[in-house]
């Protein structure tokens, strides 16, 4: 089984930065793909960024140039660096993991989820 624990959320002003962390435990072959998803009230959960066990990263067009996904395999930790935050970035951010080799943005592709960390952005 895989356990994911997010941290780093908070309430910030627009234009500032936050770094989210996700500490993972469990067999590494169950988390070949890791990803960050977010869900705002009344909206679908959407993919933000993904990264493979080999470090291949991808980010959604909506956050490209502002968000960066990375990982420290020695610490079993994945990060999401969020710069130039906008009010519409406000959401519950979730860490996810899956065994598949091809990393997808679809939430149904991930078997393991963290509890979420709240990000609020004020103007």
CA distance 27 to 66: 31
Q: Where are the alpha helices (DSSP H) in the chain?
A: none
Q: What is the pLDDT of residue 111?
A: 93
Confidence of residue 28 (pLDDT cuts 50, 70, 90): confident
pLDDT cut 90: percent of the chain above it: 83
- 93-109 pLDDT, tens digit per residue, is 999 999 987 888 888 98
């Amino acid at each position: 089984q895989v356990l994911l624990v997010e941290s780093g959320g908070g309430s910030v002003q627009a234009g500032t930065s936050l770094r989210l962390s996700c500490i993972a435990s469990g067999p590494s072959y169950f988390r070949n793909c890791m990803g960050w998803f977010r869900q705002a009230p009344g909206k679908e959960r959407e993919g933000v960024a993904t990264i493979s066990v080999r470090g291949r990263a991808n980010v959604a067009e909506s956050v490209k140039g502002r968000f960066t996904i990375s990982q420290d395999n020695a610490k079993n930790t994945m990060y999401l660096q969020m710069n130039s935050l906008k009010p519409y970035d406000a959401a519950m951010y979730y860490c996810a993991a899956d065994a598949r080799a091809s990393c997808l943005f679809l939430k149904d592709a991930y078997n393991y989820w963290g509890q979420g960390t709240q990000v609020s952005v004020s103007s």
